[in-house]
Amino acid sequence: MSEEAAVLLRRRRLVDAAALTPAVRRSAWQWLRRPLTIQAGLSALQADLIQRGFLLSVGLYRYCASLSAPALAGFGTALLDLLDAESGNHIHHTPLFRGFPESVPGNTETFYVNRVFARLLQEVDQPCVLCGDTKTVHPVSPCAHLVCRTCWDGSDFSVCPLCLRRIDRKDPFLKPSFDEVQPAHVRSDSLRLLSPTTPDSARETVEALLVRRSPLSASDRADLQVLLDGADQFWLPDEIPVRETRALVIAHFLAGDPDLIDRTDTATDVLRLIYALMDADPGLRTAPARRKSLPRATRRLLLQRLDRLPVETLIEDLLRHERAWKLIAENLHPFEFATRFPVAALAFAVLRRTKVDLGTAAGRAVAGEASRHPLVRVEGGRLVMSTFAARVEGAFVQGRPEQALDLLRQRPGELVRRLVHLARVLPPEQHAALIEALTTAVSDVSPAVITAALGQVRTPPGDLRLFFPRGGTARIWTAVDDREPLPAELALELSGVLTGEMLRRATDLPRWRRVFLDEELARLAAPGSERSASSSLLRMTRGSAVPIPQDELLRLFLHWVEPPSRRVDLDLSVAVFDEEWAFVGLCDYTRLRFDQDALVHSGDLTSAPGPHGSTEFVDLDLRAVRRVDGRYVLPVVFSYNDVPFDQLERGFVGVMRQPNGLFDPAAVEDRFDLSGPAKILMPFGVDLQTRELRWYDVNLGAAGYGHNIARYGGQLGLMAATLEEVHGSGDRVSLWEICCWHAAARTDEIAVRCADGSVVGYVRDPSEELATFARRVTARLEPDRSWDEDAVKTSDFVAVLSGDVTPRSGTEVYALHPRLLDHVSLIDAPYLLAALAPDSRARASLPTR
């Protein structure tokens, strides 16, 4: 089955029908009565798709109707297999208690005591220690524990009831259980449309990934690699703004076109390229697991590119990633080519603090090159250089922020990244100089950097600060925020410069007649870096929230398969906190029920041998949790026996909303893959007061054995409280604000759908300033008129949380949940930000999803 077909289906809900349809000779089906058989097959396929939450578009339905019966069967099987693999429905999920949630015992302590007694005291050929029966105790395979068939119900348990490990499915202890009730219906608001691919679908998807202005997640990079296998380098865009994405593309095509190396602008770009050539992370967060030997021609090509870079920036970049470059130097052998590439050799001599030996040709070449650069000097026979970063930090340390500002003027991106620091340390008489410097620099800065700086400027110091370090997983930590607040007038002026630049860029884009926006977009965070984001079905920025009904039932699920050589015990747990983040209760392997049916755990499985693995569930009745004064609900995945997630054969965790049946693929709201060296994952949190489910996707550091809520409850509460404070305050830039920038700058009529379903309009007066109009819409001040849902039919751009609208054909639409939207140009959130790039060529058009 085509990997490209799987990527297009997952990312854009496009079906590559030709790749999924098997070749069938006419002689294999000509004896069938085709009209009756095809109609029956189509009806069966439609029914199977609806149970998974999907519908065929008109074009795809017509394609299916044109197939032979065997071809339709093969196509349908391949399509359903791909969809099931996405949601996790391709696995037969069997919880510990097969009658979950009804058969879960109400008293976890009694259940535990009975297990311990039976495991420790039961002996062969002795009566059951619990009931005294002499003929019902038999061992189970392969653990050989003595299990009483009377005390433990073999029709409900799916494991050994004493050690909770998987047993042989043919063991006589396991009796036939009741058949699972199939879903009776699917909610109409959960249906999503499947459309056929076009000849340009793969190319459009690649281009959409390449023009992003924020780093890709690991899953996005993997998808890009798959799509590049069928791509042609000659239609690659002139600019690929994200450097690590650029490195992947260059590495893919470098063998066929060595001139592509000229697209690397810095030594760090070359390092990213080397990592990509070694099948390592071009984000430089982790070292290559194994350094591949590069061909001699490739080494010469890389050193030649380094040799053409300015000496100062070259050495700075090498020192910025000192350890990585020292390891890579063992592969590049720069001094072997010192006479041919003296600048590169000089940079590595500074990096490695090599003594210059004038008795060798390499030493003389390096010394001669060093004499031409005043910033390079000799100390103790070794070459050293004062870098730009060292000079900036030295100015701050020495109490000369004015000098630091003058230096940072040379590098606009660095100035904007350090904007808040400069605003705090510069004296009041220098504030005007800072605003002037920002006004000059901001026109050359990435929109992602501007939105990050804008959020920092507007966010006042609070109780805690949140840190997301670079690393293989999103491990975060908090610290007390003891900073002084920015002067209100200065913060307002800096915000005005940053916002004004984004509006100015938006005015260069094509005009729209009218725009339709959903104010619920304020719940979604602005797109940012996705380097450490988990692979998931919904692509939302960390900190985004989606609304949920107060009385909704959520079902969490965790599935994993352990490697053949090691037992892995994962635990799905839920912690409940009140309004002040005081601990209220929990539901995990120590307490299978919380407040009767408020939280119900399916049972603790302590192993997951392949190929079937293990699955745990937890049901959350949000209304019942609220009755016991719970406000915040935090699901957590623990690796109890301290095995990192990246050692699993497979593993994922997700959430279903109002499921029908044990596992309902149509109800799967999102699914996270368990990956990386982490051992604790907090995927999201539920706020029952605001009725929001906020995506966290963060890991906690862990060491030792026996990870559970009892051990980490305080850290979980602190982390979630900080996340809620940072992302729930409304000071960070939201997707709503980005949409408002586009709308205010590109049209004079904006229709806004309010949270209560009403539609209001904002109309810009010819004399009204752009910044004032944008501020009115963004803050949702008093509207100019009332409107109705028909406004969406006359809008050139639509941005909504859910695709429950009917825009006209060809309209550009952003929808977190596209649902049944068809014949429109769907775009992703990162592309709304990419359109505001400083280079007008990069903002010429918005690529489709």
Residue 530 has a pLDDT of 67
Residues facing 825 on adjacent strands: 812
Q: Taking a C-beta distance cutoff of 8 angstroms, is the pair 794, 514 a contact?
A: yes
Q: What is the mean pLDDT of the chain?
A: 88
Structure tokens belonging to residue 95: 């919880």
Distance CA 844, CA 500 (A): 20
| 101 cis-preceded (ω within 30 degrees of 0) | yes
**Tokens encoding 377:** 């000097």
pTM: 0.86
Q: Is the pLDDT of residue 30 over 70?
A: no
Torsion of CA 404, 409, 415, 419, to 10 degrees: 70
* pLDDT tens, residue by residue, 522-566: 999 998 776 666 677 777 888 899 888 777 899 999 999 999 989
- Which residues, 6 or more positions from 2, have their beta carbon under 8 angstroms from its beta carbon? 16, 19, 20
The confidence score (pLDDT) of residue 116 equals 93
Q: Is 257 exposed, middle or buried (0-12, 13-18, 19+ CB in 10 A)?
A: exposed
The token pair that represents 400 in the structure block: 């000369």
Q: Residue 105 and residue 166: Cα distance in Å, rounded? A: 19
Q: Minimal CA–CA distance to 43: which of 70, 64, 29?
A: 64
**Percentage, residues of the chain above pLDDT 70:** 93
Look at residue 312 in the predicted model and tell me its pLDDT.
87
Give tens-digit pLDDT for 413-443. 999 999 999 999 999 999 999 999 999 999 9
pLDDT tens-digit readout, 97-141: 999 999 999 999 999 999 999 999 988 888 999 999 888 999 999
The more confidently predicted of residues 513 and 381 is 513
- Here the tokens at position 763 are 């109309």
* pLDDT at residue 478 in the model: 77
Angle at 40 (CA atoms; ends 39, 42), nearest 5 degrees:
65
Query: Residue 843: is its pLDDT beyond 60?
Result: no
Q: Residues 185, 660: contact at Cβ < 8 Å?
A: yes
Euclidean distance between CA atoms 254 and 146, whole angstroms: 63
Residue 802 is encoded by which pair of tokens?
């859910």
* DSSP code string of 228-248: HTT--GGGS-S---SHHHHHH
369-378, 472-481, 533-542, 607-616: least confident range: 472-481
pLDDT (tens digit, 9 = 90+) per residue, 747-790? 999 999 998 889 999 999 999 999 999 999 999 999 999 988 78
- What pLDDT digit, counting tens, does each position of 779-795 carry? 999 999 998 878 899 99
- Do the bridges between strand 650-657 and strand 632-639 make them parallel or antiparallel, or are there none, so unpaired? unpaired
Residues 64 and 42: their CA atoms lie apart, in Å, by 7
Tokens linked to 476:
């975060």
Q: What is the DSSP letter of 487?
A: P
The CA distances from residue 191 to 662, 798, 819, 832, 845, in Å, are: 19, 20, 6, 25, 30
Q: Would you tell me the crossing angle of helices 267-277 and 243-253 to the nearest 10 degrees? A: 50
Which position has the higher pLDDT, 355 or 829? 829
Instruction: Look up tokens 């606009």; give the residue.
Output: 412
Q: What's the pLDDT at 685?
A: 92
